[in-house]
Structure 1
């Protein structure tokens, strides 16, 4: 037996250790600053960024979604699965030990005989060339990917809830504008009818007034349908039946707006705050470990096993006077010919590593674009809103003057129609742009990392609200 173990050791000592890949996480050159905004001395904390909108209902909805959303719970289960797989791989580095027992009763020629046996088995496969440790490293990287995926899901969910809530408040505002303008147009239609009866105008003016009122009235049910669908979407996002929030969100409220004092981190720091970038990095680590694992599979493997058995006629005799049998075995497996399958498997993993590296570069570029696009949209919508607010104010004045002059017979009816259409368009544009501006802030917060922080960065629970309440 000792000779066999010595021969195995000699054979293994003559084998060259595998050469692992030297590929590392790619060092992507990020810009020094953002083109769309100056960088402050200290970046604004984005932990629970939705609180910057100063809207308790929004904060409550986000908290409920993070606690109860079905898709998020599914992602959490995927993380638990990845951790369990990692534990399975780590267990492979340790020896395995088992125990067995048996009892036998036999009768021969009228004589009865009992036999009791107990035994222990142990086996261990030393990780000579790092195949098992590489598998463990790959599974640990998979856990990091799952953690980052969970963080990305949390960021996306919070942003989706905020976007739907902002859309809901915008639809309520637009619905109020449509109803207000409809009331004004119906009043104008009534005045037209009176003037028609007095013979001051023709039926053409009355029909034009009716057409304008009906067109505005047609917008009301469309806005009401969109409003109900948005409430349903928010309910499902928070893990509730579609109609659960109808009563809670029935009352109108202004479109929430975030303050404009956000200080941005430098691009490199922003990338570290994004869960999708961290996930892409972890995928490279997992792919690199699997290259090493596939390379190590081309080399010999050693397995050591042994067993100890006790046998006696009675249970009591097992602890003293039992016959003992033991064995120790060392075996070596050396791949000689596999048709190139092992080398091909290495190439498979190397190609997977290259895909992970390219995927990382694409993720970084997308992250940089997300921030720059959000900054450009934010600046553009701020300027657009200022112009639309001025236009809406002027249109309201023009509409008031037109009504007064029409009632006095100083202007014709088409002028009144034009001022009404201009007012409705300007007010609706203001409401829509307020929604766009608020959504630009949401997009920017999400692009900057959305408040997520990996474990160990001192802010790992930033995405989880301290208290979840239903609105």
Structure 2
């Protein structure tokens, strides 16, 4: 890197133009002494070749399907809400506006590579009244000028500034993609929470119906003299205990609908028409599609943004180093003076001049060196931030795979437990009706069934959420057209 800033320019100075002849020997000595190259920061973080939590039922990752991974859940409502959110979300629109901002910033930096030209026009009128001769003299004069100035980028400072601004633009563009990833996952997770709460409500409603039948049965037995009021009140108590959970679930459902509207950039209740019909918890695909860690790092916008941050930091270090070298500015002007506004094509006076100025730092109390040190320290920071981002990405994928594997195991166990508990509750109710068991056995069986069905529903939601977190961790959910 030092060669492109030092060797090439000084090779050109071996036959300097006239404008550089006046550069003092001491200045050249300072410049040659300053021609050193800094060691670039590089990350030595090793990326593993495979995932530790990779299950046996996996297939190679198809990156073309990652931009719209939610379609793998086969839920049209979810697809529609995510599509609306990606178009209307304030977070995504703000990120896109930042991209426009940094495009303009890069344009400003690029303009410094080219000459600046300005034009000027002045007009002056005077009137002289000589009281001694009673003569009045009027005179007009007009002048116009065309001025140009150009700082030649001898040592690449301006080019490095442009590279840094281009990397900044690429970084905020990746941030825009990252906002899409975060939003799609947030909408999907909220949608799963909604459907999970609805499934829980359905479980409680079924349980209320069963417990209501038990209450009616205890009353009949009490009226027939086969039971007592204690059993009836115990049955009523368990019924009302389950009923007390209903308002909490309804609150969760209504608030989650509003959360989805917020994520989609809409007012509360705007999505109720789409969400009012109950749906089951979206079922994830039976086979996972994951690739190798290196593919994930290439796909994730936050890792790509961190890479662009390193590029920007390196360019700014090079720009700071170039401050130690001379700057050459060329300037010129063309002026025309006329006594009448219509005489510019045959002016009385025409003048043109051209100049070149060379400025080189000799003493600045180590300001330039400290600026280089600042930029070098910032480069080191962004490299460390890049390593942190990579570690976070790898950790998120591994944790998502662990969650998928463990929730699958838990769900399989709960499915068997629920089937047994449902059969036990049915047998207990039949035995109680026949007078073979006490009411407490029936109520205990119903409580067990309710608890297991609730755990089953929550685990189904957790399993789907784990898949969503995996797709997010793999860097899915963004597209350049988004």
Superposed pair shares fold, TM > 0.5? yes
1:6 aligns with 21
Correspondent of 2:123 among 84, 90, 103: 103
Consecutive unaligned residues of structure 1, counting only runs of 5 or more, are: 454-459, 465-471
Are 1:298 and 2:316 matched, yes or no? no
What is the rounded CA distance, in whole Å, between the counterparts of 2:471 and 2:51 in structure 1?
15
After TM superposition, give the deviation of residue 398 of structure 1 in Å.
Answer: 0.9
Q: 1:406 aligns with which of 432, 451, 456?
A: 432
Deviation string, structure 1 residues 141-177 (Cα, Å, up to 9, x no partner): 1011101101111011011111111111111111111
C-alpha displacement at 1:10, in angstroms?
8.2
Structure 2 distance, partners of 1:186, 1:38, is 45
1:338 aligns to what? 364
Partner SS for 2:149: strand
Structure 1 20/196 Cα, relative in aligned 2: closer, same or farther at 3 Å? farther
Contact 2:88/2:265 (8 A) holds in 1: yes
On the 8 A contact 2:41/2:379 being kept in 1, the answer is no
For residue 42 of structure 1, report the CA deviation from its aligned partner.
3.7
1:327 Cα deviation from its structure 2 partner: 2.4
Change (3 A) 1:12 1:42: farther
- Which of residues 33, 53, 59 in structure 1 aligns to 2:73? 53
Partner deviation per Cα, 1:69-115 (whole Å, 9 max, x = no partner): 01110010111111111111111011111111122221112211111
Structure number with greater Rg is 2
Offset at 1:13? 6.3
1:9 shift after superposition: 9.6
Rounded Cα–Cα distance in structure 2 between residues aligned with 1:112 and 1:370: 84
State the shift of 1:201 in Å.
2.5
- CA distance in 2 between partners of 1:78 and 1:328 (Å): 41
Q: In the alignment, which residue of structure 2 is the partner of 1:457?
A: none
Instruction: Flag the 1:344–1:13 CA change in 2: closer, same or farther, 3 A.
Output: closer
Distance 1:170 1:442 in 2: 14
* Counterpart pick for 1:442 among 439, 454, 468: 468
- The more displaced of 340-349 and 150-159 is 340-349
1:116-195 alignment, distance < 5 Å: 116-195=142-221
What is the aligned partner in structure 1 of residue 7 from structure 2?
A: none
* Contact 1:25-1:285 within 8 A present in 2 as well: no
Tell me what 1:419 maps to: 445
Identify the range of structure 1 (103-112 vs 192-201) with the bigger mean alpha-carbon deviation: 192-201
Measured against aligned partners, the alpha-carbon deviations of 1:424-445 in whole angstroms (never above 9, x if no partner) come to: 1111111111111111111111
TM-score by length of 2: 0.90
In the superposition, relative to structure 1, how do residues 10 and 336 fare at CA in structure 2: closer, same or farther (>3 Å)?
closer
Q: Which of 40, 52, 71 is 1:23 aligned to?
A: 40
- TM-score, scaled relative to structure 1: 0.92
Matches within 5 A, 1:212-251: 212-251=238-277
CA–CA separation in structure 2 for the residues paired with 1:213 and 1:38 = 43
- Indicate the residue corresponding to 1:456 in structure 2: none
Q: Alignment partner of 1:265: what SS?
A: coil
CA distance in 2, matches of 1:299, 1:201: 102
1:334 Cα deviation after fit = 2.7
Question: Match of 1:80?
Answer: 100
Q: Closer, same or farther in 2 for the Cα pair 1:75/1:385, shift >3 Å? A: same
Q: Does 1:43 align with 2:55?
A: no
Partner secondary structure for residue 188 of structure 1: helix
RMSD: 2.0
Rounded to whole Å, the distance in 2 between the matches of 1:9 and 1:315 is 47
The count of corresponding residues between Structure 1 and Structure 2 is 455
